[in-house]
Structure 1
């Protein structure tokens, strides 16, 4: 890390630490009003946002596929959804000051475990501009300062969103440094952020495998990460086939480029002959491509053969891997081999099979008779999410307000001294 990068980061983190202290002392209503103000600014600056986003899109290289372009693209509808998401966070209950536990010891000391902010969060994300708005909203509401670093491809859009969030803070007299953005897309600045142990309390990466692996490899700051969204939908032999059809189509094709999209379909061999031919035909008409194992190919010969790495691939595109399995244990074995610990779903009318599946997977989120695309903070009632955590410490699944808090212990006494 060069001296200039260190100086930039020191300036940002010092301001963020001061802002975090101020924000943690602000009232719940102040923080909520700031978010409502930011939502109004997002709507008022829609034209500017669309213009900035168009600059980003025009700057994309020809190698970027349609799925990437879709994730980067802002439309009036998506900007409205972004603003509505910020407002949804504003009306959620205050996550700070919650008494998580309380008890009294025999000596009369009263103990409380109380929710407090994490402090300063470094948020590194890639192509989806709305992530910046979601992250800023969640951090403000939970009393955390945040330093944003969007992808180089979304730099213009990210800056416009940042301006809106800062304006909302300023209108309420809150420290505008509560939400900052790295001044450039220089990768060296990201490296400096990852090393800023004295200025940043946690790093949250949200993006592709390469980004997450780099953050986990280089960070000295604690990381709250999500791996690939290599999600599976397993259709059990006791599934309602019409329900299964609807769920699989939605789980793959509603928005193929999000991390909660199903990448692999697992089908019990008993029902595969009834389910696969019409399902493949329907999804083909909707523009889906496939990679299939030999058992699936035996049922639908036109299916392309899966290559060795296909079942380990997060497509983020209208491509579906298909494998036929013998039973629940076969599905669990496949997921254990290829899954990323994100979201796994079973479709069945058999409660025993469902419980076996739900208890047998390592996913941070497991579902029964529902589309994997419900793995989203808004759908959980969190208002929004800052990411999907697939690790085992502190938080798992969608990370919302509650997951952006830690706790302290408060002890109240009446003059007790320890013998």
Structure 2
């Protein structure tokens, strides 16, 4: 099979790493890719938002399957454009991608399908939103309705923070058109997890559960980021929680989407809050998470490619994935200053040495090659993954690998997995 992966980050490197091991693969392309994917595939200089260019390339190269990494091209209609050329895409149509493209749409799907989620209300007028904030009180969650590069959600602990968020999103338009409408919802309290499923429009295949670390600083301090690390499995998400998630959230959503004539195919990412009475939906994303993808795929023992194909053909009921009985931890190394202003161009040393360590894989997220060296070229630059018999072993290996990487302009959180390890020990 000839396969095209769309994207340039750590998630796409992890997908390329997994797919490149398949005996079904004949040629692998990544657009635009990064130095990590270049070692596994042919990088193609096409932007992820160049829908026409991606489709034309897929047609010219007789690509059999396209695997989109990020959400924006899916919301923009990449899967639809590929379908018009009879090219399979492991991702949803633009209509189905509204599950991430519109917070209001997701809440409406949840209500129609009876999915447990926070109470909510949508607003297109700032004055009405401010009044509602006063009525409900804090803590409260303010969300821009559209895509905002992961920065459109504010968990406001006080009324002042809530009003500031409404003003910033709706009046100051910090997220542009994405904030023309907002969703205000109840603040859920519990443990947050990410559950992943591969979907074929009717069936869903469980792909694992992880806990992301969003804030930039140790102890969950500082601003939210795209993800500073992740662990799997989270000790607060046992089999009963997974079963409840598939039965009360994932499968009902698939059923409602099919009923509306927009069947969902591809990766479905459910962001959940585990409360005392079970999991509740925070949001859906229509792609694999990052850095969750880099955390889960090293635990997969099966060939990923046949499952991706089955998702496009409505044949997931015939797929049975096998997973390692192990734990996984990913530490993200970032450029100093991230998620604010940061410098690029610093050289990174030691990657070959680290790549030779047992149970360790380094995924490139924001790098570029220069005269044989690797330079930082983004905010989140490397995702260092390690696996082990338990979380403690996986985390220890990950940080041992991080400490062998020499990069003067880099930093990372030093407490990835710490709270989960304490929780696991408390459960013994």
Q: Larger strand proportion, structure 1 or 2?
A: 2
Query: Which protein shows a greater Rg?
Result: 1
Q: Which has the higher contact order (CA 8 A, sep 6+)?
A: 1
TM over 0.5: no
Q: Larger helix proportion, structure 1 or 2?
A: 1
TM-score, length of structure 1 as denominator length: 0.31
